[in-house]
């Protein structure tokens, strides 16, 4: 589909157990930039090369996990059209007024068949990337930690993968770039609203609404390797990598924030065009699809979710 109505993943709202510990992780280790705090105590963060106000909202809570993932829609009129289209598809929507979260216009909220809450919005204030837009230079100054350039995608687990895939394809205009199938059953759907190999992935789990990971883009394989040194220096809980994915061909490493929410740093991958064929992996090749180098899954990878 050309002229896609959704331009990109915008932000994720995460629950964390201890706000100060989490800010240390996301600011000092990951290298995000704090851009605001609101009257509810929520903390707003962005990756350095993003211009919009935030890509991550942290909220202290009794259990970790994702409150919602938000996508930026290309215009206010498309936002209204999509809200109606979601209703017409049989899924109820709720409008949240502009300003409920910092720097963000009105949002429409809905729950996908896999149990994940999503929001769409058309406006977020520009914060800037630390460089002028005329004669800008190539990197902002005084960056900390891993300093990914942007938020890339989320992987979300639950049952109802095929139903969420259909909603995102038929109503929201996403493409299916890759899938994992077990016979006739769709076990995972990798979906793009852009030129990236995925903007969101749905992966089968018995329980609905589980958060697998939020991924941050770094510019090179070398920066994934450097990220491994940084998390080791900070004694961050490490899971897998640096290694290579079969699906997306991305270079990757997984680790956990202090609340147990999984983070990924990701580099590479191919450019997606909507006329590329969908790639299909079969479950007997799942280890190679996920970790191409090792060709085996880690003990925790599909067991630990928040
Ligand atoms: Fe990922």
The tens place of each residue's pLDDT in the chain, 306 residues long, gives 458 999 999 999 999 999 999 999 999 999 999 999 999 999 999 999 999 999 999 999 999 999 999 999 999 999 999 999 999 999 999 999 999 999 999 999 999 999 999 999 999 999 999 999 999 999 999 999 999 999 999 999 999 999 999 999 999 999 999 999 999 999 999 999 999 999 999 999 999 999 999 999 999 999 999 999 999 999 999 999 999 999 999 999 999 999 999 999 999 999 999 999 999 999 999 999 999 999 999 889 999 999
Same domain, 157 and 283: yes
What does the H/E/C string look like for 90-126? CCCCEEECCCCCCCECCEEEEECCCCCEEEEECCECE
Query: Does residue 137 sit within a domain?
Result: no
Same domain, 89 and 158: no
Residue-number span of the structural domain to which 12 is assigned: 6-121
Domain boundary among 121, 137, 159: 121
Same domain, 79 and 184: no
Helix (H) or strand (E) holding 220: none
Same domain, 27 and 84: yes
DSSP for residue 131: S
- CA-CA distance, 25 to 238, in Å (whole number)? 13
Same domain, 159 and 273: yes
Q: Kindly report the backbone phi and psi dihedral angles of residue 45, in degrees, each rounded to the nearest multiple of 5, phi listed first.
A: -135, 155
Query: Does residue 266 sit within a domain?
Result: yes
Query: Does residue 190 sit within a domain?
Result: yes
Phi-psi region of 145 (alpha: psi -120 to 50; beta: other; left: phi over 0): left
Query: Does residue 135 sit within a domain?
Result: no
Query: Does residue 296 sit within a domain?
Result: no
Distance from the alpha carbon of residue 154 to the mean position of ligand 1, in angstroms? 6
What six digits make up the tokens of 2?
């050309």
Same domain, 275 and 162: yes
Same domain, 107 and 201: no
Write out the catalytic residue numbers.
153, 198, 213, 245, 254, 264
Distance from the alpha carbon of residue 33 to the mean position of ligand 1, in angstroms? 21
The arrangement of strands across the sheet holding 94-96 comes to 33-37, 43-46, 56-60, 6-16, 65-73, 117-121, 107-111, 94-96
Same domain, 158 and 279: yes
Same domain, 115 and 219: no
Same domain, 171 and 285: yes
Q: How many structural domains is the chain composed of? A: 2
pLDDT of residue 3: 80
Cβ pair 287, 294 in contact under 8 A: yes
- CA-CA distance, 129 to 124, in Å (whole number)? 14
In this prediction the pTM is 0.97
Distance from the alpha carbon of residue 200 to the mean position of ligand 1, in angstroms? 8
Query: Does residue 138 sit within a domain?
Result: no
Tell me whether strands 250-256 and 262-268 are parallel, antiparallel or unpaired. antiparallel
Collapsing DSSP to helix, strand or coil, 281 comes out as: strand
> Residue 85: which CATH number?
3.10.180.10
Query: Does residue 51 sit within a domain?
Result: yes
For residue 112, give every residue at least 6 positions away whose Cβ sits within 8 Å of its Cβ, in sequence order, or none.
91, 118, 160, 163, 164, 167, 168, 202
Which of 219, 252, 254 lies closest to 237, judged by CA?
Answer: 254
Distance from the alpha carbon of residue 216 to the mean position of ligand 1, in angstroms? 8
Alpha helices in the chain (DSSP H): 19-23, 76-88, 161-166, 221-233, 286-290
pLDDT of residue 1: 45
Same domain, 203 and 156: yes
Distance from the alpha carbon of residue 236 to the mean position of ligand 1, in angstroms? 18
Distance from the alpha carbon of residue 262 to the mean position of ligand 1, in angstroms? 10
Same domain, 117 and 155: no
Distance from the alpha carbon of residue 198 to the mean position of ligand 1, in angstroms? 8
Q: Cβ-count burial of 219 within 10 angstroms (0-12 exposed, 13-18 middle, 19+ buried)?
A: middle
As separate numbers, helices (DSSP H) first and strands (DSSP E) second, the chain gives 5, 17
Query: Does residue 126 sit within a domain?
Result: no
């Amino acid at each position: 589909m050309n002229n896609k109505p959704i331009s990109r993943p915008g932000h994720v709202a995460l629950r964390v157990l201890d706000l100060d510990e989490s800010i240390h992780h996301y600011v000092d280790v990951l290298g995000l930039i704090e851009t605001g705090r609101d009257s509810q105590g929520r903390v707003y963060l962005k990756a350095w090369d993003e211009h919009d106000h935030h890509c991550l909202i942290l909220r202290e809570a009794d259990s970790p996990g994702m409150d919602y993932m938000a996508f930026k829609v290309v215009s206010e009129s498309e936002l209204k059209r999509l809200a109606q289209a979601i209703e017409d598809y049989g899924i109820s929507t709720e409008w949240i007024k502009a300003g409920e979260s910092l720097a963000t216009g009105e949002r429409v909220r809905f729950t996908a068949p896999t149990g994940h809450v999503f929001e769409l919005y058309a406006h977020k204030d520009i914060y800037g990337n630390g460089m002028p837009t005329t004669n800008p230079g190539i990197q902002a100054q005084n960056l900390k930690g891993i300093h990914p350039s942007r938020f890339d995608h989320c992987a979300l687990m639950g049952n109802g993968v095929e139903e969420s895939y259909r909603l995102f394809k038929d109503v929201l205009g996403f493409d299916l770039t890759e899938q994992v199938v077990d016979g006739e059953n769709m076990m995972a759907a990798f979906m793009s609203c852009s030129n990236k190999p995925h903007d969101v992935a749905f992966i089968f789990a018995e329980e609905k609404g589980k958060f697998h990971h939020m991924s941050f883009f770094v510019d090179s394989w070398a920066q994934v390797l450097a990220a491994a040194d940084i998390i080791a220096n900070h004694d961050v809980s490490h899971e897998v990598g640096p290694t290579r994915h079969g699906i997306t061909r991305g270079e990757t490493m997984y680790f956990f924030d202090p609340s147990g929410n999984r983070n990924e740093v990701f580099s590479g991958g191919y450019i997606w065009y909507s006329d590329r064929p969908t790639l299909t992996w079969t479950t007997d090749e799942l280890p190679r699809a996920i970790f191409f180098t090792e060709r085996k899954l880690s003990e925790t990878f599909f067991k630990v979710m928040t």
